[in-house]
């Protein structure tokens, strides 16, 4: 595609439109399970802009929004993917009222990932004017349920929606992300021995057993191996349940953790390591028994630097922003894993916002980054619309 067309498309990115849409998106609470209102807004807005858009129903209450540009051909070169749901606020300090201070927009969900959604919508608005210049189509998928079970993108894939490449618009701090760590949820139930709470030495406290397990687990070999690209694995303790609140030594305690995995770490290797630790604790008299359950396993994903989508977006980035992009690793699970492993679509992650402040009262995004991300999206989409596999 000619530089004249690309430059013309980039110049159409409207700061006012991007901010207006982003403010509206932030103002709509859209916690997982409550995505209907924001999905209707996206559907109606894209439709009003003259874009071909459909509702891809995931269940009786929720739907993905699927928009297509350049639909004359069945083949689609690129898919943009973004989730419309947010986590539930953790404190009372989170605000759904968008505020602009300087060149930053503050508001719950602004980072994860309504700034990416705004950039996707603006990209679609611009590309509709360049449909005749595109040899192959572009898909925009606005999906539900990413923050819980990933049902939205999974349903999208099961519906047969495909493209040659994909960009997930999650916050990457404007870094190009061809790599994503693996993910595994683990629940460990520790058993102790009940006794009267005034005589704790006659029992075996399962809560203490969980603390001991976490101490050993943090020091396990899983987190000592370092990969030259992915770094080290990590884990977070999500919940601990134990005790009855009565004057009884707790005989049972459950801890739920999620683990970010390296490419060579699998569900089975994690289970083996955890079981080994728990057997040691049992033999040492710290616990009387245990149970392990795992769920939501997704392997690490990795694209090569010479993959078309990686090469193209890096070239566009250099041209538009005038600097070399930094390649990085996504530490958190995203719908990228579903697109790569289930749909076999080479997928990268790229979007505005710093994920380290996502899910917090401090969420904010640089407006400049949202605009620059939009420009990169537009130029990448147009470039790939003329690229064959």
The vertex-97 CA angle with 356 and 239, nearest 5°, equals 45
**Rounded distance between C-alpha atoms, residue 264 and residue 245, angstroms:** 42
Question: What stretches in the chain show pLDDT beneath 70?
Answer: 1, 71-75, 388-389
Q: Give pLDDT, residue 73.
A: 54
The vertex-287 CA angle with 281 and 290, nearest 5°, equals 90
φ/ψ of residue 171, rounded to 5: -70, 125
Q: Who contacts 94 (Cβ-Cβ below 8 Å, separation ≥6)?
A: 108, 360, 361, 363
Place of tokens 């990457």: 172
Beta bridge mates, 165: 78
Q: Give pLDDT, residue 76.
A: 84
CA-only gyration radius of the chain, Å:
23
Alpha carbon separation from 27 to 6, 13, 169, 247, 357 (Å, rounded): 33, 22, 20, 47, 18
Would you put residue 296 in left (φ > 0), alpha (ψ -120 to 50) or beta?
left
Q: Give pLDDT, residue 4.
A: 84
Q: Give pLDDT, residue 257.
A: 98
Q: List, for residues 39-79, the tens digit of each pLDDT value.
A: 999 999 999 999 999 999 999 999 999 999 986 555 689 99
Q: Who contacts 142 (Cβ-Cβ below 8 Å, separation ≥6)?
A: 39, 42, 64, 65, 66, 67, 82, 83, 84, 117, 120
Q: Give pLDDT, residue 135.
A: 87
Q: List, for residues 274-283, the tens digit of each pLDDT value.
A: 999 999 999 9
Beta bridge mates, 261: 182
Q: Who contacts 130 (Cβ-Cβ below 8 Å, separation ≥6)?
A: 5, 9, 382
> pTM of the predicted model, to two decimals?
0.94
């Amino acid at each position: 595609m000619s530089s004249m067309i690309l430059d013309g498309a980039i110049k159409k990115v409207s700061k006012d439109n991007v901010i207006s849409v982003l403010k509206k998106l932030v103002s709509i609470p859209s916690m997982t399970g409550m995505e209907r209102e924001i999905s209707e807004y996206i559907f109606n807005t894209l439709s009003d802009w003259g874009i071909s858009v459909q509702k891809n129903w995931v269940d009786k209450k929720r739907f993905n929004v699927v928009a297509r540009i350049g639909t004359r051909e069945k083949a689609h070169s690129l898919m943009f993917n973004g989730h419309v749901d947010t986590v539930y606020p953790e404190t009372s300090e989170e605000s759904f009222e968008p505020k602009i201070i300087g060149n930053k927009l503050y508001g719950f969900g602004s980072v994860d990932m309504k700034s990416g959604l705004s950039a996707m919508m603006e990209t679609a608005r611009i590309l509709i004017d360049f449909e005749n210049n595109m040899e192959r189509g572009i898909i925009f998928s606005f999906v539900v349920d990413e923050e819980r079970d990933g049902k939205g993108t999974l349903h999208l894939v099961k519906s047969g929606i495909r493209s040659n490449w994909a960009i997930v618009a999650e916050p990457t701090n404007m870094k190009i992300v061809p790599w994503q760590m693996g993910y595994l949820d683990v629940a460990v139930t520790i058993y102790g021995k009940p006794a009267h709470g005034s005589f704790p030495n006659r029992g075996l406290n399962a809560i203490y057993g969980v603390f001991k397990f976490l101490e050993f687990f943090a020091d396990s070999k899983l987190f000592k191996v370092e990969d030259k690209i992915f770094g080290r694995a990590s884990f977070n303790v999500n919940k601990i349940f134990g005790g009855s609140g009565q004057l009884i030594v707790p005989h049972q305690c459950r801890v739920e953790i999620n683990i970010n995995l390296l490419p060579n770490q699998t569900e089975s290797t994690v289970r083996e390591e955890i079981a080994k630790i728990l057997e040691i604790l049992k033999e040492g008299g710290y616990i009387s028994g245990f149970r392990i359950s795992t769920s939501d396993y997704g392997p690490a994903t990795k694209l090569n630097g010479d993959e078309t989508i990686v090469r193209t977006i890096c070239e566009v980035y250099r041209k538009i922003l005038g600097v070399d992009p930094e390649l990085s690793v996504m530490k958190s699970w995203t719908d990228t894993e579903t697109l790569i492993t289930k749909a076999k679509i080479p997928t990268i992650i790229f979007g505005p916002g710093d994920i380290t402040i996502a899910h917090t009262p401090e969420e904010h995004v640089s407006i400049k980054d949202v605009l620059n991300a939009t420009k990169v999206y537009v130029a990448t989409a147009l470039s790939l619309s003329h690229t064959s596999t």
